[in-house]
Protein backbone atom coordinates (compact mmCIF):
# COMPACT_ATOMS: atom_id res chain seq x y z
CA UNK A 1 0.00 0.00 0.00
CA UNK A 2 2.84 2.39 0.84
CA UNK A 3 4.42 1.81 -2.58
CA UNK A 4 1.04 2.36 -4.28
CA UNK A 5 0.56 5.63 -2.40
CA UNK A 6 3.99 6.97 -3.34
CA UNK A 7 3.37 5.94 -6.94
CA UNK A 8 0.07 7.84 -6.94
CA UNK A 9 1.81 10.92 -5.53
CA UNK A 10 4.48 10.85 -8.23
CA UNK A 11 1.90 10.24 -10.96
CA UNK A 12 -0.15 13.17 -9.68
CA UNK A 13 2.88 15.49 -9.61
CA UNK A 14 3.87 14.38 -13.10
CA UNK A 15 0.36 15.01 -14.40
CA UNK A 16 0.43 18.55 -12.97
CA UNK A 17 3.72 19.22 -14.77
CA UNK A 18 2.27 17.86 -18.00
CA UNK A 19 -0.88 19.99 -17.72
CA UNK A 20 1.24 23.08 -16.98
CA UNK A 21 3.36 22.45 -20.08
CA UNK A 22 6.03 25.13 -20.44
CA UNK A 23 4.68 27.02 -17.42
CA UNK A 24 6.80 26.33 -14.31
CA UNK A 25 4.73 24.99 -11.43
CA UNK A 26 4.21 27.55 -8.63
CA UNK A 27 6.02 27.20 -5.30
CA UNK A 28 3.02 28.59 -3.38
CA UNK A 29 -0.22 26.65 -2.98
CA UNK A 30 -3.48 27.71 -1.36
CA UNK A 31 -6.14 25.41 0.09
CA UNK A 32 -9.56 27.07 -0.11
CA UNK A 33 -12.00 26.41 2.69
CA UNK A 34 -15.62 27.52 3.04
CA UNK A 35 -16.08 31.18 2.15
CA UNK A 36 -12.81 31.49 0.27
CA UNK A 37 -13.96 30.07 -3.06
CA UNK A 38 -14.01 33.51 -4.67
CA UNK A 39 -10.22 33.38 -4.88
CA UNK A 40 -10.57 30.88 -7.72
CA UNK A 41 -12.16 33.63 -9.83
CA UNK A 42 -9.02 35.74 -9.35
CA UNK A 43 -6.71 33.17 -10.92
CA UNK A 44 -5.51 34.36 -14.34
CA UNK A 45 -4.51 32.06 -17.20
CA UNK A 46 -5.86 29.20 -15.13
CA UNK A 47 -5.15 25.56 -15.92
CA UNK A 48 -8.03 23.61 -14.38
CA UNK A 49 -7.37 20.07 -13.14
CA UNK A 50 -10.25 18.13 -11.49
CA UNK A 51 -9.24 16.23 -8.37
CA UNK A 52 -10.62 13.12 -10.03
CA UNK A 53 -7.78 13.27 -12.57
CA UNK A 54 -5.16 13.09 -9.81
CA UNK A 55 -4.73 9.59 -8.37
CA UNK A 56 -3.43 10.82 -5.00
CA UNK A 57 -6.38 13.18 -4.44
CA UNK A 58 -9.50 12.15 -2.49
CA UNK A 59 -13.11 12.75 -3.57
CA UNK A 60 -14.69 15.83 -1.97
CA UNK A 61 -18.07 15.45 -0.29
CA UNK A 62 -18.81 18.76 1.49
CA UNK A 63 -20.86 21.69 0.19
CA UNK A 64 -18.74 24.73 -0.65
CA UNK A 65 -15.74 22.63 -1.73
CA UNK A 66 -15.42 22.35 -5.53
CA UNK A 67 -12.82 19.60 -5.86
CA UNK A 68 -10.54 21.06 -8.53
CA UNK A 69 -6.99 22.38 -8.69
CA UNK A 70 -6.02 25.56 -10.55
CA UNK A 71 -2.54 26.49 -11.78
CA UNK A 72 -2.08 30.13 -12.74
CA UNK A 73 -1.30 33.48 -11.21
CA UNK A 74 -2.97 36.10 -9.07
CA UNK A 75 -1.47 39.39 -10.11
CA UNK A 76 2.25 38.68 -10.43
CA UNK A 77 2.15 35.76 -7.99
CA UNK A 78 2.23 32.24 -9.48
CA UNK A 79 -0.13 30.05 -7.48
CA UNK A 80 -1.57 26.58 -7.23
CA UNK A 81 -5.09 26.73 -5.81
CA UNK A 82 -6.81 23.70 -4.28
CA UNK A 83 -10.54 24.36 -4.36
CA UNK A 84 -11.68 22.22 -1.46
CA UNK A 85 -10.39 19.74 1.06
CA UNK A 86 -11.48 16.39 2.46
CA UNK A 87 -12.18 16.61 6.19
CA UNK A 88 -11.30 14.02 8.81
CA UNK A 89 -14.94 13.91 9.93
CA UNK A 90 -15.98 12.45 6.55
CA UNK A 91 -14.21 9.15 7.18
CA UNK A 92 -12.45 9.45 10.53
CA UNK A 93 -9.10 9.60 8.72
CA UNK A 94 -6.81 12.40 9.97
CA UNK A 95 -4.59 11.79 6.91
CA UNK A 96 -7.40 12.50 4.42
CA UNK A 97 -5.33 15.25 2.75
CA UNK A 98 -2.04 13.36 2.80
CA UNK A 99 -2.11 12.69 -0.94
CA UNK A 100 -2.64 16.33 -1.99
CA UNK A 101 -0.05 17.67 0.47
CA UNK A 102 2.56 15.12 -0.65
CA UNK A 103 1.73 15.81 -4.30
CA UNK A 104 2.27 19.54 -3.83
CA UNK A 105 5.61 18.92 -2.14
CA UNK A 106 6.66 16.53 -4.93
CA UNK A 107 5.65 19.17 -7.50
CA UNK A 108 7.94 21.77 -5.91
CA UNK A 109 5.57 23.70 -3.64
CA UNK A 110 7.41 25.21 -0.66
CA UNK A 111 4.72 27.41 0.94
CA UNK A 112 1.20 26.30 1.85
CA UNK A 113 -1.46 28.92 2.56
CA UNK A 114 -4.46 27.40 4.30
CA UNK A 115 -7.91 28.94 4.68
CA UNK A 116 -10.97 27.83 6.60
CA UNK A 117 -14.26 28.94 8.13
CA UNK A 118 -14.25 28.98 11.92
CA UNK A 119 -16.32 29.86 14.96
CA UNK A 120 -15.13 32.63 17.26
CA UNK A 121 -14.65 32.10 20.99
CA UNK A 122 -14.44 35.83 21.65
CA UNK A 123 -17.26 38.34 20.96
CA UNK A 124 -14.51 40.86 20.11
CA UNK A 125 -13.74 38.63 17.09
CA UNK A 126 -17.12 38.77 15.33
CA UNK A 127 -18.47 37.04 12.22
CA UNK A 128 -16.95 38.54 9.08
CA UNK A 129 -13.53 39.08 10.62
CA UNK A 130 -10.43 37.16 9.53
CA UNK A 131 -8.03 35.64 12.06
CA UNK A 132 -4.40 34.85 11.28
CA UNK A 133 -3.54 31.55 12.92
CA UNK A 134 -0.47 31.80 15.14
CA UNK A 135 -0.77 28.37 16.78
CA UNK A 136 -3.20 25.51 17.16
CA UNK A 137 -4.65 23.06 19.64
CA UNK A 138 -5.06 19.49 18.39
CA UNK A 139 -8.00 18.68 20.67
CA UNK A 140 -8.83 15.62 18.58
CA UNK A 141 -5.41 14.18 19.44
CA UNK A 142 -5.20 12.36 16.14
CA UNK A 143 -2.17 12.54 13.90
CA UNK A 144 -2.00 12.20 10.11
CA UNK A 145 1.50 10.78 10.58
CA UNK A 146 0.37 7.45 12.05
CA UNK A 147 2.01 4.76 9.96
CA UNK A 148 4.99 6.88 8.94
CA UNK A 149 8.43 5.45 9.68
CA UNK A 150 11.81 6.94 10.56
CA UNK A 151 12.84 9.86 12.74
CA UNK A 152 11.24 12.40 10.38
CA UNK A 153 7.78 11.51 11.74
CA UNK A 154 8.68 13.30 15.00
CA UNK A 155 7.92 16.74 13.57
CA UNK A 156 8.82 19.87 15.53
CA UNK A 157 5.76 22.15 15.51
CA UNK A 158 7.32 25.13 17.27
CA UNK A 159 7.04 26.93 13.92
CA UNK A 160 3.85 25.25 12.73
CA UNK A 161 2.71 28.63 11.36
CA UNK A 162 5.73 30.44 9.97
CA UNK A 163 6.56 33.66 11.84
CA UNK A 164 8.15 35.41 8.84
CA UNK A 165 5.13 34.66 6.66
CA UNK A 166 2.84 36.04 9.38
CA UNK A 167 4.84 39.28 9.44
CA UNK A 168 4.32 39.67 5.68
CA UNK A 169 0.62 38.94 6.07
CA UNK A 170 0.30 41.57 8.78
CA UNK A 171 2.08 44.13 6.59
CA UNK A 172 -0.32 43.43 3.72
CA UNK A 173 -3.34 43.78 6.04
CA UNK A 174 -2.03 47.08 7.42
CA UNK A 175 -1.55 48.41 3.89
CA UNK A 176 -5.26 47.68 3.26
CA UNK A 177 -6.25 49.27 6.56
CA UNK A 178 -7.57 45.90 7.75
CA UNK A 179 -6.67 44.93 11.32
CA UNK A 180 -5.67 41.27 11.34
CA UNK A 181 -5.87 39.60 14.71
CA UNK A 182 -3.61 36.65 15.43
CA UNK A 183 -4.93 33.80 17.50
CA UNK A 184 -4.99 30.14 18.43
CA UNK A 185 -7.14 27.77 16.36
CA UNK A 186 -8.63 24.70 18.05
CA UNK A 187 -9.32 21.62 15.93
CA UNK A 188 -12.45 19.66 16.84
CA UNK A 189 -13.35 16.62 14.78
CA UNK A 190 -17.02 17.39 14.05
CA UNK A 191 -19.17 17.20 12.03
CA UNK A 192 -21.40 18.25 14.95
CA UNK A 193 -20.87 21.71 16.40
CA UNK A 194 -19.55 22.15 19.92
CA UNK A 195 -21.69 22.30 23.06
CA UNK A 196 -21.69 25.38 25.32
CA UNK A 197 -19.58 23.42 27.82
CA UNK A 198 -17.04 22.58 25.12
CA UNK A 199 -16.87 26.23 24.08
CA UNK A 200 -16.15 27.22 27.70
CA UNK A 201 -13.45 24.54 27.84
CA UNK A 202 -11.82 25.85 24.66
CA UNK A 203 -11.84 29.39 26.01
CA UNK A 204 -10.10 28.26 29.19
CA UNK A 205 -7.52 26.38 27.13
CA UNK A 206 -6.61 29.60 25.32
CA UNK A 207 -8.27 29.08 21.95
CA UNK A 208 -9.58 32.07 19.99
CA UNK A 209 -11.41 30.19 17.22
CA UNK A 210 -12.57 26.64 16.58
CA UNK A 211 -13.03 24.62 13.41
CA UNK A 212 -12.98 21.16 11.85
CA UNK A 213 -9.94 21.28 9.55
CA UNK A 214 -6.47 22.75 8.93
CA UNK A 215 -4.53 21.15 11.78
CA UNK A 216 -3.99 17.77 10.04
CA UNK A 217 -2.89 19.53 6.84
CA UNK A 218 -0.48 21.72 8.80
CA UNK A 219 1.10 18.65 10.38
CA UNK A 220 1.36 16.96 6.99
CA UNK A 221 2.84 20.09 5.42
CA UNK A 222 5.46 20.52 8.12
CA UNK A 223 6.36 16.84 7.80
CA UNK A 224 6.85 17.43 4.06
CA UNK A 225 9.07 20.46 4.71
CA UNK A 226 6.54 23.12 3.67
CA UNK A 227 6.13 26.47 5.42
CA UNK A 228 2.54 27.20 6.45
CA UNK A 229 0.42 30.34 6.69
CA UNK A 230 -3.23 29.96 7.72
CA UNK A 231 -6.29 32.22 7.89
CA UNK A 232 -9.72 31.67 9.44
CA UNK A 233 -12.83 33.45 8.19
CA UNK A 234 -15.05 33.87 11.25
CA UNK A 235 -18.61 32.80 10.39
CA UNK A 236 -20.24 32.56 13.82
CA UNK A 237 -19.78 32.89 17.55
CA UNK A 238 -19.37 29.63 19.41
CA UNK A 239 -22.39 27.87 20.88
CA UNK A 240 -23.73 29.75 23.89
CA UNK A 241 -22.06 33.05 22.96
CA UNK A 242 -24.92 34.25 20.73
CA UNK A 243 -28.62 33.49 20.34
CA UNK A 244 -28.20 31.93 16.90
CA UNK A 245 -28.78 28.30 15.92
CA UNK A 246 -25.66 26.86 14.30
CA UNK A 247 -25.80 24.96 11.01
CA UNK A 248 -23.62 24.36 7.96
CA UNK A 249 -26.12 26.38 5.93
CA UNK A 250 -25.62 29.33 8.29
CA UNK A 251 -21.85 28.93 8.04
CA UNK A 252 -21.97 29.00 4.23
CA UNK A 253 -24.39 31.94 4.21
CA UNK A 254 -22.18 34.13 6.42
CA UNK A 255 -19.07 32.96 4.57
CA UNK A 256 -20.62 34.00 1.26
CA UNK A 257 -21.45 37.45 2.62
CA UNK A 258 -17.99 38.04 4.10
CA UNK A 259 -15.99 36.13 1.50
CA UNK A 260 -15.38 39.09 -0.82
CA UNK A 261 -13.40 41.10 1.70
CA UNK A 262 -11.59 37.98 2.89
CA UNK A 263 -10.50 37.17 -0.67
CA UNK A 264 -9.36 40.79 -1.20
CA UNK A 265 -7.17 40.45 1.89
CA UNK A 266 -5.82 37.09 0.74
CA UNK A 267 -4.90 38.50 -2.68
CA UNK A 268 -2.93 41.27 -0.95
CA UNK A 269 -1.19 38.72 1.26
CA UNK A 270 -0.25 36.55 -1.74
CA UNK A 271 1.26 39.62 -3.42
CA UNK A 272 3.27 40.32 -0.26
CA UNK A 273 4.51 36.73 -0.12
CA UNK A 274 5.63 36.98 -3.76
CA UNK A 275 7.58 40.25 -3.30
Contacts of 243 by beta carbon, 8 Å cutoff, 6+ apart: none
Our answer to whether residue 138 is catalytic in this structure is: no
| Catalytic residue check, 65 | yes
Annotated catalytic residue 232: no
Q: Partners of 222 in the beta sheet?
A: none
- Establish whether 90 is a catalytic residue: yes
Identify whether 120 is a catalytic site residue: no
Cis peptide before 192 (omega within 30 of 0): no
Gyration radius (Cα) of the chain, Å: 18
Question: Buried b / exposed e across 2-21, counting CB within 10 Å, b at 16+?
Answer: eeebeebbbebbebbeebbe
Q: Is 51 a catalytic residue?
A: no
Report the SS3 class of residue 209: strand
Residue 215 DSSP one-character state: H
Q: Is 201 a catalytic residue?
A: no
**Virtual torsion, Cα 89, 187, 83, 226, nearest 10 deg:** -120
**Element (H or E) spanning 227, and its range?**
strand 227-237
Q: Which residue of the set 40, 87, 143, 232 is catalytic?
A: 87
**Distance from the Cα of residue 118 to its chain's centroid:** 11
Cα separation of 180 and 185, whole Å?
14
**Residues 90, 148, 182, 198: which is the catalytic one?**
90
Contact criterion met (CB below 8 Å) for 181 and 169: no
Q: Is 236 a catalytic residue?
A: yes
Considering 116, 120, 143, 213, which one is annotated as catalytic?
213
Cβ proximity of 238 and 210 under 8 Å: yes
**Residues annotated catalytic, as ranges:** 34, 65, 87, 89-90, 117, 212-213, 236, 249
Amino acid sequence: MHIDFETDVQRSATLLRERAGATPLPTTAIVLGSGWGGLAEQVQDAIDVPYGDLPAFPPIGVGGHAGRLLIGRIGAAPVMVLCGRKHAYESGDAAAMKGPIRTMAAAGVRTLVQTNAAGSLDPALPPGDVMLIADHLNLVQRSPLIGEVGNERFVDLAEAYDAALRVRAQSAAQALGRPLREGVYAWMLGPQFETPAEIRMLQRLGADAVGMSTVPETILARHAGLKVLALSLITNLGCGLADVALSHHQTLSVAEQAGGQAVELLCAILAALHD
